[in-house]
Chains A and B, each alone.
Chain A
Amino acid sequence: MIYRETGQFKPTYRSDSAVFPIPQDRWVVVAFVILLTIVPSFFASEYLLQAILVPILIYSIAAIGLNLLTGYCGQLSLGTGGFMAVGAVACYKFSTALPELNILIVLLLSGLVTAGVGLIFGVPSLRIKGFYLAVATLAAQFFLNWLFNKVAWFQNYTPSGTLTMPPREFFGVLVTGAAAQPHHRYLFCLGVVVILALAATNIVRGPVGRAWMAIRDMDIAAELIGFRPFQTKLLAFSVSSFYVGVAGALALALWLGSVETAEAFDINQSFQVLFMIIIGGLGSMLGSFIGAAFIVVTPIVLTNLMVYGFGLEAVTAKHFEFIFFGGLIIFFLIVEPHGIARLWQIAKEKLRLWPFPH
C-alpha cells in the first residue's frame, strides 16, 4: 500500500536504471539527507555531534570502502586499520608540508595515496583467496603500522610520534583543529559522505560493480565469460582503499585531532570495520551506514544508559556493556544472518503487500 510500485512506469532506460528507481526511495533518501543537514546542525549538542555523529559518518566511509572490497568483490581484508593509518599519515604530511592546500584536496590526495598502497597490497589477491587473503592483508595492517611508527619522517620527527592535525579552513570556515565549530565539522563530513556514497552507489551498479560481483559470485565463471580477474580485483582494492584512506584522514582531521597511528588504527580497528559490514549487511550500501551507526552508538548508549539511567558505577557499566554488546551482535546475527540491512529489505517487501498479504 505504502510502498507500491504498481502504476510506476519507466518509459526510458534512463529512468529504469536510475540510482533510486522507485520514487518513494528517492524521496526518503533526499528527505533524510536534508533532515541530517538541518536538524543536527541546529539542535544537536556538541557531544552528540562530536562524539557520535561525526564518528558515525567517518566510519560509514570506511565501511563503504570495505564493503566495496569484501561485500561486492568478495575479497576478505583485515588491513582496514592499516589503510586508515595511511590516509591519516598522508593527510598529516600533506597538510603540514603544504599549508595552503585546500582541505578537500588534501583528503583527495590522502585517498589517492592510500589507493596506491592498497593496489600494492592487493596483488596477492590474484593468487590466494578467502582466509588466506585475509592473512595476507593482515600483513599490510602490521607492516604499515610498524612503518609509520619506525620512520620518524612520517611524524615530522615529533619526539612522541603523535600526529596532530593543524587548523585548516574550508573556503573560509574552520573545519579542522580544536577551534572549529562542531556543526561545521559535521556538515563538512556529511558533504564528503554524501559525495562518496553517491559515487560508490554508481560504481557498484555500473559495469565495474557488475564485474566485481561476478568475481565474487564465482571467479572462474567470471573469467570464462571475459572478466579479467587481475584488473578487476586490483581495481576493487584501490577503490576500496581510497574510501578507507579518506576515512582515516577524516578521523585524524575532523574527529580525533591527534592520533598515534599504532594505537588508533590497530588491528582492532580492522575488525571493527569488518564487523560493521557483517552486522550491517555485506554488499549493501545501506548496510554500511547501519553497521557503522550500530557499532559506534550501541556501546555508548549502553554505557550512558547504565550510568545515567540506572546509576551504575562507570566500571560496572563497562563490564555490562561488553556483555550486552556481544550478546546483541550474536542476537542480530542469529535473527538475521544477512545483516540489519536485510531486515529493512524484508520490511519493504511487507510494506509492498500491506495490508493485503495475499
Chain B
Amino acid sequence: MKLTKKLLLGGALATLLSSPFAVSTVSAADQIYLAGLVYRTGPYAPNGTPFANGFKDYVELINQRDGGVNGVPVVYEECETGYNTKVGVECYEKIKGNNPAIIVPNSTGITYQLIPKVVQDKIPLVTMGYGRTSGAVGSVFPWYFNFPTTYWSQATAIIRYIGAQEGGMDKLKGKKIAHVYHNSAYGKEANPTLEVLAEKFGYDLTLLAVDHPGQEQKATWLQIRKKRPDWVFMSGWGIMNSTAIKEAAAIGFPMDHFIGNWWSGSENDVLPAGDLADGYKSATFHASGAETPLHKDIKKHVYDKGLGAGDADRIYEVLYIRGLLNHIFALEAVRRAQDHFGVKVPSGEQTRHALENMHMTAADWNRIGLPGFPEIKVTCDDHEGGHPVLIQEWDASAKTWSVISDWIPVMKDVVRPMMEADAAKYAAENNITPRDCG
C-alpha cells in the first residue's frame, strides 16, 4: 500500500514539476495558430462570454465548412484573462512563441501594454473598435490596427446624429450634452474629441466619471438631474450600463435622448433594466438580430453538429457578432496574406502586410455572409479606415435592437489631426521615427 501511495505521489509530483512552466506549444508547421485572450470570469464575464463564443465559433465554422483558411486548418486556443491586464500580459508571453497570426487582446488595458511588445515580436495587434485611438496612425504604429472605426470617430458620429435630431449642426449651439464614462483608459478616450467638438459647435459639455465597476451612480445622475442636459452620451461597460439605464429612468430622463457607445449597446445592458430601457439608443458598426447567411452557416456547420461554444439562440446578439467580426478580420487577413505571398502559414510580417492593404468590398462581405456591411479600406498611414456608424434603438417588448439611422459618416477632418498629434507625442516619448507612408 505504501508503495502505491508513494508511486502515486511521485507521479503527481512529476506532473506538477514538468507541466506548470510549460509554455503552450502547438505545432505550427502547417496550421494557422490563433489565441483568444478572453474573459469568461471576473466582473465583466457576462459580456466576455458571448464575445469569446463568437471567437471560437467562427474558427470552428471555417474549420468545419472550409477545412480551414484556404484548406489550412486553424488551431485556436483560449487564454483566460478575467479582464485583468497583468494576467493578460502573462497570457501573451505564453502564446507568443506559437507564431499567432494575430493578437486580439480584447481589453483596452491589455492593448496598451501590448502595443510596444508586438513591435518587437512582430505580431499584428488588432483591436476592433477599442484600444488606443491614435494607434490608427500607421506611420507610428505599424503593427497596430483598430479598424473599422475608433472611439474618437464614434464620438463625432454621435454628435452628428444629435445635430441631425436637433435639426442641423448649427442648432447644437447652447445645447447641453453630458458624457457619462467609465473612469478608465477606455471610458476617457472619447473626452478630448467631445471637447474639441464642443468648441466647434458651441454645445455645453459635462464630463461625469463613474468608477469601476459602476454599480454606484446615484451621485452622477443627481448631477444630471441638476444640470438637465439635452442629451446624455455614455461610454460604459458591464454592469455600469444597465445601472445607468435604471438610474436614468429613475430621474425621468427621456430614454430617446440617452445614447450609449457601441460597448454600451448589447442585450446584456438593456435586458436587466426591463421595460425601463425601452427606447434607449446606442451606436454600433454592424446590425444584429437578423438571420444572415453567416448565421445559417454557423447553425448548420457548428451548432447542428454540437460544436457550438454557447447557446444556439444567442448567436444573433450584438457581442457575439462582434466576436465573429474579430475573427472574420483576422482570418480574412490570413487568407489575403496566403494569397499574396503564396504561403500556407503566413508570418507576422506577411499578415501585417495583408492587414495594411485590407480592402473589404461589398463582394467580400457577401462571400463572408454579412451582406450590407460597408466597405473597409486600410492604408499604410490610416489603420482605422473611418468606417461609418449606425444608431440602434432597443425595443423592450420585442427584445430586439433595431437600426434607426443610415450609416453616419465620421468627421475625419476633426479626429485625424488629433490622432496625428497624439501619435507624434508617443513617437517622441518612445524614440520612434515614424516610417514614410508616401
Interface residues of A (CB under 8 A from B): 45-48, 50-52, 55, 96, 149, 156, 158-162, 164, 166-167, 177-179, 255-260, 262-264, 266, 297, 300-305, 307-309, 313-315, 317-319, 322
Determine if A309 and B19 form an interchain contact, defined as CB atoms under 8 angstroms apart: yes
Smallest beta-carbon distance A179→chain B, Å: 6
Task: Tell me the total A-B contact number using a CB cutoff of 8 A.
Answer: 136
A160-B185 contact in complex given A51-B89, A313-B78, C-beta closer than 8 Å? yes
Q: Mark B406-438, 1 if CB is under 8 A from A, else 0.
A: 000000000000000010011001110000000
Whether a CB of chain A sits under 8 angstroms from the CB of B184 is yes
Complex CA–CA separation, A133 to B272 (angstroms): 39
Whether a CB of chain A sits under 8 angstroms from the CB of B293 is no
Whether a CB of chain A sits under 8 angstroms from the CB of B79 is yes
Determine if B19 and A256 form an interchain contact, defined as CB atoms under 8 angstroms apart: no
A-B contact pairs, 21 of them (CB 8 A): A46-B97, A47-B21, A52-B21, A158-B422, A158-B425, A159-B188, A160-B132, A160-B189, A164-B430, A166-B430, A177-B430, A178-B120, A258-B115, A260-B185, A263-B85, A301-B20, A304-B22, A304-B94, A308-B22, A309-B19, A319-B41
| Beyond A45-B21, A162-B109, A262-B183, 10 extra complex contacts between A and B, CB < 8 Å | A51-B93, A177-B116, A256-B85, A257-B117, A258-B116, A260-B85, A260-B112, A263-B109, A305-B16, A318-B40
Whether a CB of chain A sits under 8 angstroms from the CB of B38 is yes
Interface residues of B (CB under 8 A from A): 15-16, 19-24, 38, 40-41, 52, 77-80, 82, 85-86, 89-90, 93-94, 97, 108-109, 112-113, 115-117, 119-120, 132-134, 183-186, 188-189, 191-192, 209, 211-212, 422, 425-426, 429-431
Chain B residue numbers with a CB within 8 Å of A48 are: 21
Chain B residue numbers with a CB within 8 Å of A301 are: 16, 20-21
Smallest beta-carbon distance A48→chain B, Å: 6
- DSSP class of B's interface residues: helix, strand, loop or mixed? helix
Complex CA–CA separation, A322 to B45 (angstroms): 15
Q: Which of B16, B19, B79, B119 contacts A314 (CB 8 A)?
A: B79
Complex CA–CA separation, A55 to B90 (angstroms): 10
Smallest beta-carbon distance B222→chain A, Å: 19
Chain A residue numbers with a CB within 8 Å of B38 are: 314-315
Determine if A166 and B431 form an interchain contact, defined as CB atoms under 8 angstroms apart: yes
A263-B78 contact in complex given A159-B191, A166-B430, C-beta closer than 8 Å? no
Nearest 7 CB-CB pairings of A with B: A178-B116, A301-B20, A160-B185, A309-B19, A315-B40, A314-B78, A314-B80
Q: Which of B41, B80, B113 contacts A257 (CB 8 A)?
A: B113
Chain A residue numbers with a CB within 8 Å of B191 are: 159
Determine if A51 and B112 form an interchain contact, defined as CB atoms under 8 angstroms apart: no
Smallest beta-carbon distance A200→chain B, Å: 25
Smallest beta-carbon distance B85→chain A, Å: 6
Smallest beta-carbon distance B137→chain A, Å: 13
Smallest beta-carbon distance A355→chain B, Å: 21
